[in-house]
Chains A and B, each alone.
Chain A
Amino acid sequence: DAMVIQNPRYQVTQFGKPVTLSCSQTLNHNVMYWYQQKSSQAPKLLFHYYDKDFNNEADTPDNFQSRRPNTSFCFLDIRSPGLGDAAMYLCATSRSSGGTDTQYFGPGTRLTVL
C-alpha cells in the first residue's frame, strides 16, 4: 500500500518553463518535506510544512515555492527551471518534526531540464 506518492515519477521540462511536482500521503502525518537530491549527493532539504506552517531553508532559491492545500497534498513549484535544477525531488512525511520521529519518503520525481 503506497503511503507517500509522488507524481509524476519522471518530468521533463524546458529551460524557464514552470513545472509543478506533486506529493500525496495516506499516513495523515503533520509534516511534509521537499528535498532536492543531485546525483551521488545527500538529499538537501528545501522546505517543510508543519500542518499549514511553512518553513523555508535559508539557502533555498526563490525559484522554488511550495503549497500545501490540505493534510494529504503538497506541491513543489519551480517557477523558472534552470539546468542546475535537474535533480531527483523527494517528498517525505513525518508525524512531527523533532525527537525520534522518522521520515517516510516517496519514490521521487526525476526532473530533467532541456
Chain B
Amino acid sequence: SQQGEEDPQALSIQEGENATMNCSYKTSINNLQWYRQNSGRGLVHLILIRSNEREKHSGRLRVTLDTSKKSSSLLITASRAADTASYFCARRNTGFQKLVFGTGTRLLVSP
C-alpha cells in the first residue's frame, strides 16, 4: 500500500499534556503535510515540512522529519480539549503530484 502508517491509531490524554503522533512511509518524498479533521468535517491543513527540513514549528505544533528513517512526528504541546480531532499525515512523493494520506491518529483530549 502507498498509504503512510500512523501510530498510535488512537491517543487519549488529559488537557495540558503533550500529544505525539508518528507517521511512517516507504517512498522518497518531496514534502510531508499534516492535516486535522474534526469529527464529521473536512480536513484543515496544519503544517508542511519539506524533505530538506528536519524540524518546523507553528504555535503549539512541532513537526520533525527523518528522511533516513522515512518517518515524521507531530507534537502538540499543552493540549486542549479543542485539539480533539483526527490527525493525518499526507506525503507528496517525489515525481508524483498527488497527496497520499496516512491512516490517521484519533486524539481525544479530556478536560
Contact = CB atoms under 8 A, between A and B. Distances in A.
Interface stretch (A12-20, A40-48, A66-74, A76-84): A40-48
A100 B50 contact: yes
Contacts of B102: 42
A102 interface: yes
B43 interface: yes
Given A104-B45, A108-B42, A42 B88 contact: yes
Instruction: Place the interface of chain B in its size category.
Output: 20 to 34
B33 interface: yes
A107 B44 CA distance: 10
28 contacts: A4-B42, A40-B104, A40-B106, A41-B103, A41-B104, A42-B101, A42-B102, A42-B103, A42-B104, A43-B101, A44-B101, A45-B99, A92-B42, A97-B98, A98-B30, A99-B30, A99-B31, A100-B48, A102-B33, A102-B45, A102-B48, A103-B99, A104-B45, A105-B35, A105-B42, A105-B43, A107-B41, A108-B40
Contacts of A86: none
A105 to B, nearest CB: 3
A97 B43 contact: no
Contacts of A110: 40
Contacts of B106: 40
A90 interface: yes
Instruction: Place the interface of chain A in its size category.
Output: 20 to 34
Interface of A: 4, 6, 40-45, 48, 88, 90, 92, 97-100, 102-108, 110
Nearest to A6: B42
Interface centre among A4, A97, A105 (most CB of B within 10 A): A105
B20 interface: no
Contacts of A107: 41-42
Interface in B24-50: 30-31, 33, 35, 40-45, 48, 50
B109 to A, nearest CB: 18
Given A100-B48, A100-B50, A103-B99, A43 B43 contact: yes
